[in-house]
A and B are shown apart, each in its own frame.
Chain A
Amino acid sequence: MVRANYWKKGLMLAVGLTLLFIADVTLGSISIPISSVLSGLFSQSTSNFSEIIWQFRMPKAITCLLAGAALATGGLLMQTLFRNALAGPDVLGLSSGASLMVAVVLMVGQSSLGVLAAVASHPWSQVIAASFGGMLVFTIMVTLSRFVQDNTALLIIGLMISAATSSLVAMLQFVSRSEDLQSYIIWSMGSVGSTNWQEVRVLGFAVILGIGIAYSQIKSLNALLLGESYARSLGIKIARSRLWIVISTSVLAGAVTAFCGPIAFVGLAVPHLVRLAVPTSNHKILLPLAAMGGASMLLFCDLLAHLPNRTQVLPINVITSLIGAPLVIWMIMRNKKVSV
């Protein structure tokens, strides 16, 4: 029946994801034969390949996997909550908040204030700053979400916070030194290759937590598709569900922004691509597919960012939008329609 079709597409996506993951570990500035990848994975040899795989390629590939899954899940949650096709994980303003704090640390801290300079010199400085900024906006949003009645108001507040923080960042950019400015711009272009194992573990914990919360809200998410009045008449506690959905998205988007910078587009595009490929509105099917789709998309973009046999690596944001935009346009043209 219809359900079997979903399983088939899910399986295809899982196979694609596995292949992309292997490719991401194998290909790069130095191509590693698959046999060496496998031996490097399963034996404790200390060959150069093994070193590259375990210290660089694996953390990077796992970061792609986690970040892609997190962003796509967050995007799906926001599109459903706001019933808005243009919503993404960044509509709550979290990545803007993170950007602001990173900008403060990178552009102001390094040059002047003692405390901030100490923070800035810490190896986790960007992660801490981004987490702090994200959490600040998150606290504001959760507090406000308890007072505003409808979701559209929440969406507008999120956009306003983004606008306000962006202008603060612009102000900081205007007054900062050019070398500090450059390190901020590089951060804002996103990166999946700078995480070590410890960071991957923290990111993994946050992503599993966020996706776990999202799964607990499947029933509410489905009911929200009918609008708030119908959802409430079906016994859904809207205020509580909204809080959990906001928390889930914040954890997901916040963690990814902290470790990888503001990665654009994946969260917006992947849920659409999934819905166009698998026409269902059931979040029980959409959530796992979006997570796998997001992971595949980011792995694919990372593959393109590492031009084979070159040492230069393009920023991930350049690729995500460049690949994602035509892909979504093509899918929409083919299906004539886009929906939430």
Chain B
Amino acid sequence: MISTQQLCVGFRTGSTAHTLFEGLDLHLPAGELVCFMGSNGVGKSTLLKTLAGLLPPLAGKIIGLDKNVALVLTDKITATNMTVYELVSFGQYPYLDWRVDFSASQQEIIEAAIRQVRLESLQHRKINELSDGQLQLVMIAKALAQQTPVILLDEPTAHLDLNNRVEVMNLLRSLSRKMNKSILVATHELDLALQTADRVWLATGDKKIKTGIPEDLVLDGTFDEVFQFKGFDLKTGKVEHEAHRNIKVQLAGTGYPFLWTKNALERSGYDVAEEAVIQITVYGESKTQWKMAGSLYESLSDLLAVLRLQ
């Protein structure tokens, strides 16, 4: 658990101080996953490094700061002759003397950390043979092996595909619950953060951070203010489409086939209305079919092709 009192964060070049955040009273509770969001360049990494004790605060103080804070950074690991096990074992370095001898119980901690991220089968692989997603899991295992109450992660899902992003975030959330850790994730991936975070810290752009549970911040419009969405409606979670064709379509159906058909029509510039001359019905049991003006269509692309001719 970490909390801050009137924390002022930034960096110094020469004698001038550049303040990125000021007057922060933050609280990182145990057992929760907190997503720290803000636009690029707002100072997410700087705050993370300050919380980790790598940068001195410009003013204020951090309570509960240990010298040994588990960090996952965006820094690229260039060492190639290093195995997954070796990289995870760095987590135990704070507890070693200069001889770097791991005791049996330390080896058990390292192996347990590897099991937590389910990479047992890869533990003797070289890290340069791993995918980006696997490497990120290794870095999380390293942070777990560090056995700190707090883990800070900077953009852990950057450069990952959707599947790996979800895996990483779900893992972090379950770790925060199971091991009662405070986990702070700096990210700018809104959709994922909204769905996984217990709490959001939102950098509002005026050197302040607004905190709350994600749904509250959506509904009170804080997210809209900060991100100034351009064509994205946060409350429905969808990209706005302009009905540029000026053609109304009436759609009947249920479930996912209905939703995806609606999505395809709106994306193609049709206005899906309550009542219209053009009527489309979605049939979906084992196989989805579309009926329009007496004809049956096997795919949406066929349906749209015919619709465009009208």
Contact = CB atoms under 8 A, between A and B. Distances in A.
A223 B81 contact: no
A281 interface: yes
Interface in B124-141: 124, 126
Interface residues of A, number: 28
A2 B82 CA distance: 12
Given A219-B100, A234-B68, A83 B78 contact: yes
A227 B75 CA distance: 7
A232 B80 CA distance: 20
Interface stretch (B86-94, B217-225, B228-236, B292-300): B86-94
A179 B130 CA distance: 60
A219 B77 CA distance: 17
A136 to B, nearest CB: 29
Interface string A230-263: 1011111000000000000000000000000000
A8 interface: no
A218 B78 CA distance: 18
B106 to A, nearest CB: 14
Interface in B95-148: 96-100, 124, 126, 146
A216 interface: yes
A18 interface: no
Interface in B55-93: 67-71, 73, 75-83, 86-87, 90-91, 93
A305 interface: no
Nearest to B152: A233
A225 B79 contact: yes
Given A2-B124, A235-B93, A230 B98 contact: no
A127 B29 CA distance: 63
A339 B90 contact: no
A281 B86 contact: yes
**Secondary structure class of chain B's binding surface, majority of residues:** loop
B93 A229 contact: no
A15 interface: no
B52 interface: yes
B54 interface: yes
Contact of A280 (B75, B81, B91, B146): B81
A233 B78 contact: no
B49 interface: yes
B184 to A, nearest CB: 14
Contact of A236 (B82, B86, B91, B93): B93
Contact of A233 (B70, B83, B86): B70
Contact of A229 (B49, B68, B70, B82): B49
Interface residues on B, range: 20 to 34
A337 B128 CA distance: 12
A217 B97 CA distance: 10
Contacts of A232: 54
A216 B54 CA distance: 24
A284 interface: yes
A326 interface: no
Given A219-B98, A233-B69, A282 B93 contact: no
A39 to B, nearest CB: 41
A279 interface: yes
A140 to B, nearest CB: 23
Interface in A168-206: none
Nearest to B85: A2
Contacts of B99: 218, 284
B229 to A, nearest CB: 33
Contacts of A219: 93, 96-98, 100
A60 interface: no
B75 A235 contact: no
Interface string A99-119: 000000000000000000000
Nearest to B154: A229
Interface string B8-48: 00000000000000000000000000000000000000000
A222 B81 CA distance: 12
Contacts of A236: 93
B80 A235 contact: no
Contact of B79 (A234, A284, A339): A339
A234 B94 contact: yes
Contacts of B78: 83, 225, 227, 339-340
B147 to A, nearest CB: 12
A304 B78 CA distance: 37
Contact of B86 (A83, A215, A234, A282): A282
Contacts of B146: 234
Interface string A289-305: 00000000000000000
A153 interface: no
Given A281-B81, A281-B86, A229 B54 contact: yes
Contacts of B52: 233
Contacts of A233: 52-54, 68-71
A225 B77 CA distance: 8
Interface in A143-180: none
Nearest to B148: A233
A234 B95 CA distance: 9
Interface of B: 49, 52-54, 67-71, 73, 75-83, 86-87, 90-91, 93-94, 96-100, 124, 126, 146
25 contacts: A83-B78, A219-B96, A222-B93, A225-B79, A225-B82, A226-B87, A227-B76, A227-B77, A227-B78, A229-B54, A229-B71, A230-B71, A230-B90, A232-B54, A233-B54, A234-B68, A234-B93, A236-B93, A279-B81, A280-B81, A281-B82, A281-B86, A337-B80, A339-B78, A339-B81
Given A223-B93, A230-B73, 11 more contacts: A217-B98, A227-B73, A227-B78, A229-B71, A233-B54, A234-B91, A235-B67, A235-B94, A236-B93, A275-B81, A279-B81
